[in-house]
Amino acid sequence: MLQATDDIQVVGGLDRAASDAEDFPIFGSTDDINVTADVWVDFTIPTAARKNAEYSLTHGFDTVIGTSGMSNDDFDALGKLAAANNRKVMIVPNFAISAVLMMQFAAKAAKYMPDAEVVEIHHSDKVDAPSGTARATAQAINKARTAKPIAPKQTDAPARGEWIDNVPVHALRLPGYVAQEEVIFGAEGESLSISQVSYDRSSFMAGIRLAVRKVATLPNALTVGLDSLL
């Protein structure tokens, strides 16, 4: 689906189990790459994504990373590497436009309702937990708060989830799901739920295309999330 546009052409792929695709070559390692391109797009695992980006940013590619579970240290290191090589790197926890809007709405709600918890559900093959989207949501909520939450404080009880920036986050892994997240706010006498669902991976394509088209125009060497493009 990424290739089915007038202004985007996929010229190659990277996979250790290399085999020729119908329309472009698949390389087994970075040593084998013999094509040039404007943008490198990565969907792997955190360790591989950082290694791949270290290659792409030093070989003339602006880079879009959709790999979940990368750390702040990864962000900082790749941002510095991009700046040193006059490149741009964009790291996106979730390419679904609805997921980006959900995080924006949650941040707005947190100004008025500081007590919130996040529940995310992903397919059973997703390794990292909580998801990058859930982490980013929790961080956005905490940053936007204008008052302290009144709910019980952080606890080691496993049933209370992982606490990220003073927001409990709960992760489920189940067959039949692609990606789903709900942010639940509570206040005296009322509650608010903000939910996003990706029914299939086509939900990510509009955001991927947007990032590929715009990454080179971003003002900073490192950009995290699609927010700046919406």
Q: What are the residue numbers of the active site?
A: 122, 126
Residue 140 neighbours by CB under 8 Å, 6+ apart: 103, 104, 106, 107, 110
- Token duo for residue 199: 């029914």
Which residue shows structure tokens 């689906």?
Answer: 1
Angle made by CA atoms 130, 78, 27, in degrees to the nearest 5: 90
Reference 202, options 96, 121, 44; nearest CA is 96
Cβ atoms of residues 201 and 178 within 8 Å: yes
Cβ atoms of residues 52 and 44 within 8 Å: yes
Peptide bond into 130 cis (omega under 30): yes
Gap between the Cα atoms of 18 and 125, Å rounded: 22
Gap between the Cα atoms of 52 and 40, Å rounded: 9
Cβ atoms of residues 149 and 110 within 8 Å: no
